[in-house]
Amino acid sequence: MPAERHLVTAGHSYVVAGNRRLAHEMAVAGRGRWRVTAIAPPWFAGDLRSIPLEPIEGEASDVRPVRMRWQRSPHLSHYASLAAAVPRDADLVHAWEEPYVLAGAQLARAASARARVVFATFQNLDKRYPWPLSAFERASMDRADAWIAFGRTVEDTLARRRGYEGKPHQAIPPGVDVARFRPDAAAGRDVRRSLGWPEDALVVGYLGRFVAEKGLADLCAALAQVRAPWRALFVGGGPLDAEIERLSAAHSGRVKIASGVAHGDVPPWLNAMTVLCAPSRTTARWREQFGRMLIEAMACGIPVVASDSGEMPAVVADAGRILPEGSPGAWAGEIDAILADEAARRTLAAAGRERAVTEFAWPVVARRHLAFFDALMDGGARP
């Protein structure tokens, strides 16, 4: 049997246990072949709250907390003492940091000369970055031996970009904990009761940031046209609270906002929904990079309706509905149709759960990472 290899995987998002499951599951799947060290901050300033390093029961990877500075700047946030934290015996350093941010360039620099370096990226637009971001990306990708695209649109965008072109790469999605995110009708009923709604209320749901590019204005406009006796549940937060408050004022008692919900507490809120809507809108500087709320809802057996922005059609495939972005009338019609058809909802729920389990469950995603890393180490990975 070949000697055990040492995989170091690092990212600020590993502060969240739901993300660090990748490191844990790679350690589980790679026992005897890969020893896994995960580097994560002891806390991180999230969009809505400060997040302490969340534990994983029976965590299989060795976790090394490393403080991060300038956390409010996504591009300039960086590790305080990375050189000492990256083991010199690492065979492969996997950076869950974008190549164009300072933290990513740090990881490339901290890896020993003997280590293979693999970057993971969500970037699905071919952007021109200003200095110093352009310098970060150049340094990162000059050092990188390979890269992972978190989706097909990312792969299509970057495969011909300088620094990425000609290097081994693979499209591998993020994952979801299908044991935590699972169908739970009782939890959903409890949430609806806590909101003062009937247990059998038809609930149109949204999960994510309250920002313009997520299509909240379109969803509010669509709900105003829906004929079914809907309720609307918005889980998240952001600057567009006022948009939702206006919808609430026009439909008294039918609209609720749940803000400050920790990621680990999301499953009951998803289970309270009849359908999850993700009406993202593409802009000149952004298109939906993945849509994690989609795989979480599918894992909970909640039907999903998503716009055709970015990666979402590939994520949903035939396990949900895809509609044109920026078309409130079409969305109103589809919401009405789904709320009126319980059999269709059951079919979509089963298809979504099946897709989540077979394509996006963390053990599946972890094995795909390790297969790519093995191929890279053994010389079998191809551009």
pTM of the model: 0.96
Q: Of 80, 71, 75, 78, which is closest to residue 131 (Cα–Cα)?
A: 75
Distances (CA, A) of 92 to 110, 112, 128, 195, 376: 12, 9, 29, 49, 9
- Positions of the chain with pLDDT lower than 50, given as ranges: none
Beta carbons within 10 angstroms of residue 76's beta carbon: 15
3-class secondary structure for 175-214? CECCCCCCCCHHHHHHHHHHCCCCCCCEEEEEEEECCHHH
User: Tokens at residue 293, please?
Assistant: 């709320």
What is the CATH topology of the domain spanning 185-359? Rossmann fold (3.40.50)
Q: What secondary structure letter does DSSP report for 264?
A: G
User: Tokens at residue 238, please?
Assistant: 């952001």
Strand partners, 37: 8, 62
What is the CATH topology of the domain spanning 5-175+361-378? Rossmann fold (3.40.50)
Write down the pLDDT at residue 257. Answer: 97
Return residue ranges of the chain for CATH 3.40.50.2000: 5-175+361-378, 185-359
Kindly report, residue by residue over 163-220, the tens digit of the pLDDT: 999 999 999 999 999 999 999 999 999 999 999 999 999 999 999 999 999 999 999 9
